[in-house]
Amino acid sequence: MRVVVTGGAGFLGSHLCERLLARGDQVVCLDNFLTGTPDNVAQLLEVPGFRLFRTDVTDYLHVTGDVDIVLHFASPASPIDYLRVPIETLKVGSIGTLHALGLAKEKRARFVLASTSEVYGDPEIHPQPESYWGHVNPVGPRGVYDEAKRFAEALTLAYRHTHDVNTGILRIFNTFGPRMRPNDGRAIPNFIRQALAGEPVTVAGDGLQTRSICYVDDLVTGILAMADADHQGPINLGNPHELSMLDLARWIVDLTGSSSEVVHIERPVDDPTVRQPDTTLAQRLLGWTPQVPVEDGLRRTIAWFREQDERHAFSAPPLAPETTEQILHG
């Protein structure tokens, strides 16, 4: 199949492109490099069937030739990013989704939206089933991301019902793995970076707030299952194993062999107290459950961060987007 991946040079998108190519699909990777980087897909540039284009889906979206699947993964996904670029976050969730849906409509392609557990906000139902409408503060600092995704879900269903586009919605819970940016503001890269540097590991608030973390390889398996199906969703994808941020920080300190101490900092506004997916639908409709134990995933991720530290200590800086124009359309 020929698959378009928006946001394909990001953390999650790059893993998705890699797996699609490995199973024999052709991939058109679109990214404006706002939070992604061409270095995430540099290893794919010589792979037959892979094309990389620097594209902002909020401006214009056109792909020549046939397209079988459109996977819309373009969006800042870390609080530090969407607080830095709130307008861009809202635009990619609204205008970008409109353009991606338009492409799917034009090509008669399957469309899958990467939505988020953030649509549940600070949930009052635990764990969160897809039937739960959420508890979101639309005017809080996180509202630009939460509401962009909620609007994107509504737009996706409108295209399904009005234009008969074969759409699906995935609500993705906290995901981790190699290629996360060390300074992207999310807990796992923060904890790993601080622990490897021997710095204090900073936990927000008392650290008793919980998350359910899923290794990226498992998540990509679930995404591909949804892409190949015809379910409309929404369907939760995530690891139902719940743990506190304090326990996670201590776990990472232990796995890195660090001498770092865990310290507490101010908790962000609207930081959810609990987050745990009900994955019954994913199990029943997609036959999907996470397979990688969290500790194994953490060990792999820590090893990748260590490798990056060593590589960057003895190599030139990574490619900047403006230096890669010659390879983007090759």
End-to-end, the C-alpha distance of the chain in Å comes to 20
Specify the pLDDT at position 167. 98
**Quick check: is 248 in a domain?**
no
Specify the pLDDT at position 313. 59
Closest by CA position to 54, among listed 102, 9, 98: 9
Is the pTM of the predicted complex or chain greater than 0.85?
Answer: yes
**Quick check: is 42 in a domain?**
yes
| Span 200-231, pLDDT tens digits | 999 999 999 999 999 999 999 999 999 999 99
Domain of 144, in residue numbers: 2-179+213-240+276-291
Say how far apart CA 110 and CA 314 lie, in whole Å: 44
- Domain CATH number, residue 61: 3.40.50.720
The CA R_g of the chain, rounded to the nearest whole Å, is 19
| Span 232-247, pLDDT tens digits | 999 999 999 999 999 9
Q: Helix 245-256 to helix 294-313 angle, to the nearest 10 degrees?
A: 60
**Quick check: is 120 in a domain?**
yes
Please identify which residue in the block is written with the tokens 């979206």.
61
**Quick check: is 267 in a domain?**
no
**Quick check: is 202 in a domain?**
no
pLDDT, block means (10 residues), the chain with 330 residues: 98 98 98 96 96 95 97 94 94 98 98 97 95 93 94 98 98 97 90 96 94 97 97 97 96 96 92 93 98 97 92 54 39
Specify the pLDDT at position 323. 39
> One-letter amino acid identity for 18?
E
Buried b (16+ CB within 10 A) or exposed e, 140-154: eebbbbbbbbbebbe
Specify the pLDDT at position 249. 97
**Quick check: is 302 in a domain?**
no
Query: And the tokens for 219?
Result: 């998540």
Query: And the tokens for 186?
Result: 């999310």
**Quick check: is 56 in a domain?**
yes
How many domains, the chain? 1
**Quick check: is 208 in a domain?**
no
Active site residues: 145
| Span 43-73, pLDDT tens digits | 999 999 999 999 999 998 999 999 999 999 9
